[in-house]
Amino acid sequence: MLKSRIRPNIVTFNMMIDGACRMGDIELALKLVEKIGVMSEYYVSPNTITYNSIINGFCKLGKVAFLEEVVNEMIKVGAKPDVRFYVTMIDGYARRGCLEEASRLCDEMAERGLTPNTVVYNSILRWLYSEGDTRGASLVLSDMVDKHVFPDQFTYSTVMALQKWICDSSF
């Protein structure tokens, strides 16, 4: 692009970073983020979308240990966490069984004035289902209702699958 005298902007970089993450090539995505830093002379800097893509890439690969470092870098450059950021982080931690961290992020989300949505709760419910934790699932459903977040078909199918598992395991 530069050889053609076309200056890439943050949208261009974000598309390439997201594509690399979707292909599972997190190394390429991180190199592109570094390239953005080099491109600061063109007034290009990483934003929330950039970091959401990177975080999603790490989560999809199961590399939640790297998330804290990415979040610190995100905050350092002034990118602010949004609902998508929290949904991705919570889902990533919940899929790895790190429910305490997922729960902490739900609380942090609320502290920042962002409401956990159905996707957040479904991520936690999915993990509770895989653990057979009916009590935890019941608490999550109650919390959803208390916060006026309405269950969707995925929520109900997860709860029904959990109930079926309970019935099957009791025989």
What are the structural domains, with CATH classification, of the chain?
1-80 (no CATH), 82-171 (1.25.40.10)
Percent of the chain with pLDDT over 70: 90
Higher per-residue confidence, 155 vs 2: 155
pLDDT in tens, 72-130: 889 888 899 999 999 999 988 888 888 889 888 988 998 999 988 898 888 888 888 88
> For residues 64 and 79, what is the distance between their CA atoms, to the nearest angstrom?
20
Cα–Cα distance list, 165 to 53, 88, 93, 158 (Å): 35, 27, 23, 11
